[in-house]
Structures are given as C-alpha cells and as structure tokens.
Amino acid sequence: MKSNQYQAILDAIEKMGISKADITRKHTSAFDEFHVRGRAVSEELFSNIELNKESLVLDLGCGLGGTCRMIADKYDCMIHGIDYSDQHIETANSLSNLVGLGKQTCFKQGDATKIPYPTKQFDLVITQHVQMCIADKAKFYSEVKRVLKKGGLFIYYDVFKKNDDSLNYPLPWVDDEINNHLISSDQLKEQLHSLGFKKISSQDQTQKGIDFLNSFLAKAEDKPAILTGQKILMGDNALDKITNLYQALKSGIVGLESGVFEL
C-alpha cells in the first residue's frame, strides 16, 4: 500500500487536471522540495557543477527526493538519498518510479550522522535545510568527509543563526527550541576548515528568501490552496511555520546561505 503522503501528492496533482499517467518531474517538483525557494534554488545551486553519467551523488536528509530527481534528470547520473523519515523515503522512491527516474535514484532510510555508505564513495555530497535538525555537527560533517572522494565537492543550502534573539515556534524544520540546532555560518566554515575542506564559494541567500516568502505569503492569503504542498510536508500548521521563518529572516535573527567546499 502506498503512503498517505504519496497519495496526497497524486491527489493534489490530479486536482490540477493532470492524470496520473501524464505526471512528470515538472509537476511533482511543486510538492517535493522542502526548502525556501524550492526548485528554483536547486536549479541555481547545481547548474554549474561538473557531473557526468559516471558521477555518484549523495543527498543527506533528502526529504521527498525532489532535488535528487532534478540532478539525476539533468546529468543522467546516479544519485542516492538518505533521510531519517521512513515515510519520506517511501514517498521519494514512489515519486521517482512514477516519473521514470527509479533506476537513477536510490533512497534509503538512514541517519546523516552515521551514513550507511562506505568511505570515499561520492563525487558530490549535498544537503539542504537539514543541519538545523542535527545536534552533533562534528559527527555530521566528519561523515560528509568520510564518504567523499578526495577532490569531491560538498554543497549546502541552510538556515543559519545571526544573533541570539529568541525565535517564534514552530519553524518549518522544528516544533520547539529544544530540537533546534542552529549554528552561525562562521561556525560551519570553521568546522569544515578544521576537517580539511577548502572553500570554493558561499552566497548569502537571505534577501532572495525574504522576497520569495513575502510573495508566497501574500498569495496564500488570497488563495489558501497554494499551501497544499506545504501542508503535505509540514502538517496543518504549515502557514504558522512559514510565517515564523519569514519574520525571523526579516528581523535578522536567521539568514540563508549556500556554499561549495572541496575536499
């Protein structure tokens, strides 16, 4: 039996007048990217990366696997994704099979602080909006290093703490303060440098995120149906979660940043 999450996505796409047989990655991508600016930012982040058919990629905390399908489709390569959530993994595999990318993606349940893959396996490791959920950063980033080949790339896109002001909860990745493990982007860079990574680039994504959320929240007021995908991913309080993140970004408590590091 397929999960409720997968069925809910199919139902939402079918409501848009697209029958199951006609669903492509373009339709699923409105529902399967669980980070600020969704598909647009993934396309930007991975547009200049040199990958080919032989490349092996790993997405840590892959969620429903939307970014993995985008990369697999674009580069015709094999991409693995792990996520803590069984339900997300089941949905990710079902969506890949649905859009004909089942042979190029492999999703399995796993913990990003104990990656279930051998050492020096991957050309590229990516992670988007996951480290904020992980308390043991040292273990997380040393695992990234362990599974990367020498010369491999690590690409992140995350929320970072900019000051110690208190946040309103729930947030999209966490319901309460105790499970929120934000660090500053300087702390991330220190950690990566200490592991031997070399910075290639980093980009402040905060303003683009604020602009996106501003227009998204305005649209949601007029047309609450545009929250369907977010509710499937985050639950019925998705609007509160997104509003709290928007306020935190606007008031400068947190920021968004992406970056590329080489091992």
Separation between Cα atoms, residue 42 and residue 70, nearest integer Å:
8
Q: Considering only 13-21, 71-79, 82-90, 220-228, which stretch makes contact with ligand SAM by CB under 6 A?
A: 82-90
**Residue 92 or 220 having the CB closest to ligand SAM:** 92
Decide: is 61 part of the binding site for ligand SAM (CB under 6 A): yes
> How many Å apart are CA 143 and CA 141, to the nearest integer?
5
Q: How far apart are CA 151 and CA 149, in angstroms?
A: 6
Question: Which of positions 99-128 make contact with ligand SAM (CB under 6 A)?
Answer: 111-113, 128
- Minimum Å distance from CB 170 to ligand SAM? 12
CB-count exposure of residue 82 (10 Å: 0-12, 13-18, 19+) = buried
**Contact residue for ligand SAM among 35, 69, 80, 161 (CB under 6 A):** 35
Q: Which stretch binds ligand SAM (CB under 6 A): 28-36, 97-105, 200-208, 235-243?
A: 28-36
In this structure, the strands spanning 122-128 and 56-60 are parallel
Residue 63 interacting with ligand SAM (CB under 6 A)? yes
**Binding residue count for ligand SAM, defined by CB under 6 A:** 22
Q: Closest CB to ligand SAM belongs to which residue?
A: 63
Stretch that binds ligand SAM, among 6-14, 33-41, 187-195, 198-206 (CB under 6 A): 33-41
Q: Where are the alpha helices (DSSP H) in 85-136?
A: 86-98
Within 151-210, which residues bind ligand SAM (CB under 6 A)?
Answer: 172-173
Count of Cβ atoms closer than 10 Å to residue 259 Cβ: 22
Which one of residues 10, 13, 66, 153 is an interface residue with ligand SAM (CB under 6 A)? Answer: 66
Neighbours of 229 (CB within 10 A): 23
CA dihedral 24, 28, 29, 34 (to 10 degrees): -160
* Integer Cα distance of 249 and 256 in angstroms: 8
| Residue 69 touches ligand SAM, criterion: CB under 6 A | no
Binding site for ligand SAM (CB under 6 A): 33-35, 61-63, 66, 82-85, 88, 111-113, 128-130, 133-134, 172-173
